A and B are shown apart, each in its own frame.
Chain A
Amino acid sequence: MLDSLSTSLKDALKKLAGRTVVDRAAVDELVKDLQRALLSADVNVKLVMELSKAIRTRSLDEAPSKVMSVREHVLRIVYQELVRLIWASTDVKLEPQVILMAGLQGSGKTTTTAKVARYFQKKGLKVGVICADTFRPGAYDQLFTLCQRINVPCFGNPQEKDALAITRQGLHSFKDLEVLIVDTQGRHALEANLIQEIIELNQLVKATHRWLVVDAALGQQASEQARRFHEAIGIDGVIITKMDGTAKGGGALSAVAETKSGIVFIGQGETSEDLERFDPDGFISRLLGMGDLRALAERAEEAIRAGDMDATTLMKGKFTLRDMYQQLEALNKMGPLKQIMNMLPLGNMELPEGVYDVTSTKMVRYRIIMDSMTSAELDDPSLINSSRMQRIAHGAGSTPDEVRELLKYYKLMQRTIKGLRGAGGKFNMQRLMKRFSGMQ
């Protein structure tokens, strides 16, 4: 589905490629495809309509600059309009503060609370966590275990039924700490007594920040729920969770638009380290199922030259083990390969199934094996014969079989990339690497 959508979007863009005048019909078609892409990414329907109207009007009204092709002109507008929506990237200050976490049931508040605590802890601040979830069984155990793993003090009392009382005690016993994070019970906007509770909690803790935790898969409900939370406690930041699945997070976008705040963090994984600062470009690319829109838009800004950009960024040189090493290193911080591939502008390119099957543990093994190779071997893997294989395996504490498997994987990757190159895709190693480093 994703593939077919991004393909149709690209087809629509392609139609604009050769033109010198902005064609109303082509723009209409592009806007329609854009609408579909955004709608299937769960962006609020009204928001999509407003957005597409703005893009249509601007594309037709604004005269494209002389050096820009029509396609670049339209792309630039699409990019600008989208960025305008999510532009407000909330600044996370490294200073004493109280953070109140709010959200629907099962959106990932508790896990995220531990992640945020870990984030501030890594920045050298003294962090404490208060468990104000007095309803869900096991909530305190969960938060306590997570906090124990990262060595952060956690205040809570599974016997106490009054969230306000716990929080009051917690504030008192943690008054020497710098950053306090208050995890709350999941609630939704229709539960009036729970909304009242979070209003009182907010007054009690005098929160510096009130962050709304939103599941990436949340659909059209996002706007409404965000609006109610915003009315109650004034949300000033959104955290998107579960971005390691296939959901695109359009609901979070609606929430941001509704609360006029920004996206603070993105959670993608189950350990306390899996939290990242928000990167608008990556997010937009994923939303539209298209590749690096920013690079495209920037090219348009610079107006290097008009014409079809697809052919300009072909990968040069060969793909060596060294490249793969770097890639694996980057991937390790990025999450599943399939997801990354989705972010790349490959359209409906067929990739061999095996490429995806390398799990993260295997990647770590591969890197260790490659650490045992010489530079010459990394540059030219064909050097590796069975005696070298033996040596490498010995050095890495693995078996020759595993080395062989690594080489097989390397060949698969090499073929894949060759295939991409052959098909004239804009698969650029350098840009790929840059994207990876930008997202860490």
Chain B
Amino acid sequence: MFGGLRERLQSARALLSGSIEAAAAAPPSEKPDAPAASRSAAPEPQVRPPAKKTATFASKVRTFVIDRELIITEKELADALYELEMTLLESDVALPVTDAIIAHVKKDLVGKHRRIGQSVDSLVVSTLRSALLGVLGEGFDLITYIKNHERPVKILFTGVNGTGKTTTVAKVGDFLKKQGFTVVIGAGDTYRAGAIEQIEVHAERTGIKIIQHQQGADPSAVLFDAVQYAVSHKMDVILADTAGRFHTKANLMSQLEKIRRVMKPDLVVYVDEAIAGNDAVVRAAEFDRTVGADAVVLTKADMDSRGGAAISIAHTIGKPLMFLGTGQGYDDIVPFSPEAVVEELLGDA
């Protein structure tokens, strides 16, 4: 998973290290230059360069000579940062998010003093790690949440068309069932042809109770019934599937709001696909704004060896990622842990 991004990040990391190494190699040649110039040019040369050229030049030399440290400048990083930017863009990290990450890395690295003996690599890695971790935030532990929460826990799944909500509901249901919770599924997608049949088959295969009405019924009513069922049977979790809808359709979005009013979910889970590009940011923000989102599930992570959408969405709406969908089987779902992912991305190849 995310192998592509990992490869790319590693090459970007090598480049960043490379340009810092190059910068490190440069000063020794500058050092004889500076005194030579100062000797021949004018009196008080030590004062003039800072005033005229850059403040960093003199301080750079001074730092180098006295502290045996190097200062990293923006110019030295430019190429490597450009490379990193392209890497992120090619990995489907949305443009504004890429800008934010680049800014973070730049801010962290530029002007940093580095001891000569210190490994460049570790500096770069720690910067990238903090940038990525900062973006990805905390994961979301569903099991702990359910354990600490009053039963039944009502979970509503939302998202645009074709991201894999129904399959995700089945997978999460299976996952929770294996953890020993009792689960009921509400077939809230009453619009799409075949949706009820689809979730019915999933429920049958995983042995989970399903509450359904016929096609065209009011989804709020279906999900309300599911909640009632769970309450009266003392079930632990309700998983509410909904029809896919675009954030641009005002009436469908207000239908979703009605569902939320009626079933009062404890968790609204936004489902999107890992292969989505820049639009992932737009629609995640819109869903978050209109119906709210407490956690995110990213599907189809097995197709996408890059995983930029994870970074984009997490950064945009600041909500934790809960699961990654990684295939078509019920077991193909992985609880998301930011540390593990970042470790995998930046770890040694």
- Using a CB–CB cutoff of 8 Å, the interface residues on chain A facing chain B are 1, 36, 39-42, 45, 104-108, 110, 135-146, 188-190, 215-221, 225, 241-242, 244-248, 250-251, 270, 336, 338-339, 356-357, 359
Contacts and interface: CB of A to CB of B under 8 A. Distances in A.
A40 B300 contact: no
Contacts of A39: 89, 95, 278
B90 A247 contact: no
Nearest to A139: B194
A138 B198 contact: yes
20 contacts: A1-B96, A1-B282, A39-B89, A41-B278, A42-B92, A106-B164, A106-B299, A137-B197, A138-B196, A142-B192, A145-B194, A188-B302, A189-B303, A217-B283, A219-B92, A220-B277, A245-B248, A246-B246, A246-B248, A250-B277
B279 A247 contact: yes
Contacts of B286: 246
Contacts of B251: 359
A252 B202 CA distance: 32
Nearest to B243: A270
Contacts of B283: 217, 245-246
A161 B215 CA distance: 26
Contacts of A145: 193-194, 215
B324 to A, nearest CB: 15
Contacts of B201: 137-138
Contacts of B95: 1, 36, 39-40
A5 B140 CA distance: 34
Nearest to B312: A219
Contacts of A36: 95
Given A245-B248, A246-B283, A215 B278 contact: no
Given A104-B303, A217-B276, A45 B194 contact: no
A359 B251 CA distance: 7
B277 A218 contact: yes
Interface of B: 86, 89-92, 94-96, 160-164, 191-202, 215, 246-251, 273, 275-283, 286, 299-300, 302-304, 306, 308-309, 328
Nearest to B286: A246
B213 to A, nearest CB: 16
Nearest to B91: A220
Contacts of A247: 276-279, 282
Nearest to B249: A336
A248 B279 CA distance: 8
Contacts of B273: 106, 217
A219 B278 contact: yes
A217 B280 contact: yes
Given A45-B90, A242-B161, A246-B248, A40 B302 contact: no
A219 B164 contact: no
A356 B198 CA distance: 35
Nearest to B170: A137
A371 B308 CA distance: 51
Q: Which of B198, B279, B304 has the most CB of A within 10 A?
A: B279
Q: Which of A39, A110, A136, A339 has the most CB of B within 10 A?
A: A39
B162 A221 contact: no
A108 B306 contact: no
Contacts of A137: 197-202
B160 A338 contact: no
Nearest to B280: A217
B61 to A, nearest CB: 33
Given A1-B96, A40-B95, A219 B160 contact: no
Contacts of A359: 250-251
Contact of B278 (A40, A144, A357): A40
Nearest to A42: B277
Given A40-B94, A220-B306, A245 B163 contact: no
A338 B247 CA distance: 11
Contacts of A45: 86, 89-90
A139 B164 CA distance: 14
A229 B196 CA distance: 31
Contacts of A143: 193-194
Contacts of B90: 45, 220
Given A42-B279, A217-B277, A242 B193 contact: no
A138 B308 contact: no
B248 A244 contact: yes
A134 B281 CA distance: 33
A248 B278 CA distance: 9
Contacts of B94: 40
A219 B308 contact: yes
A272 to B, nearest CB: 10
A37 to B, nearest CB: 9
Contacts of A108: 161-162
Contacts of A104: 275, 300, 303
Contacts of B162: 105-108, 215, 241-242
A180 to B, nearest CB: 21
Contact of B279 (A141, A146, A216, A241): A216
Nearest to B196: A138
Contact of B303 (A138, A140, A221): A221
Contacts of B303: 104-105, 188-190, 221, 225
A287 B303 CA distance: 25
